[in-house]
Amino acid sequence: MKKVFTLSVVVAALGVLVYAQEDKNPVMPVSKEIPKAMSKEEASQVSDTEWKKRLSSAQYTILRKSGTERSNGKVYKEFKEQGGGTYFCVGCDTELFSSKEKFDSGSGWPSFYDPSQSENVKSVMESDGSGRVEVRCATCDGHLGHVFSGEGHNNPTDKRYCINGTVLKFVPAKGEE
Ligand SMILES: [Zn+2]
């Protein structure tokens, strides 16, 4: 009996460990179909408990608690290898970015020089006095990352939308799956 108990504790512990490890190295969700976005109204009615249920813990920490994924992680490697396609908010499926505005900033985080749908991405000055400008999803108000201007990047806006790939959902362009 004791053996069985010990075994089940070990199995449970292993399960937690594997889960935690996976979440430390999240992957970017990929969908073949264009997802249907929530409305602002619907998104505003999702409770914190419900967000926790719907999102992985890494996604929840970034999107709802303004967390940051580690640079040069697995998600970033995936991002670099992706071809043409569109990026959606993992929380509410709103279109945010496209591969057309993607560029290599060398920062270790997914970088875009502009949103694909400007009205879907909002910029908010950080209240901590750092002067940093936070980028949020305009539909679900989820934290996506930051935007930096005038860094001298050779792109049309000289902006760097530094985005957590963990909270993006990638839909490859037709013929690029
Ligand atoms: Zn969203």
| Residue 18 banded pLDDT, cuts 50, 70, 90 | very low
| Residue 39 alpha carbon to ligand 1 centre in Å | 10
| Residue 101 alpha carbon to ligand 1 centre in Å | 19
- Whether residue 34 is predicted with pLDDT greater than 60 in this model: the reply is yes
In a domain, 103, yes or no: yes
In a domain, 165, yes or no: yes
| Residue 5 alpha carbon to ligand 1 centre in Å | 43
CATH number at residue 100: 2.170.150.20
The 3-class SS string of the chain reads CHHHHHHHHHHHHHHHHHHHHHHHCCCCCECCCCCCCCCHHHHHCCCHHHHHHHCCHHHHHHHHHCCCCCCCCHHHHHHHHCCCEEEEECCCCCEEEEHHHECCCCCCCCEECCCCCHHHEEEEECCCCCCCEEEEECCCCCEEEEEEECCCCCCCCCEEEEECHHHEEEEECCCCC
Domain of 68 in residue numbering reads as 33-172
Counted domains in the chain: 1
pLDDT of residue 15: 47
In a domain, 69, yes or no: yes
Q: What is the pTM of this model?
A: 0.85
In a domain, 57, yes or no: yes
Active-site annotation holds for 162: yes
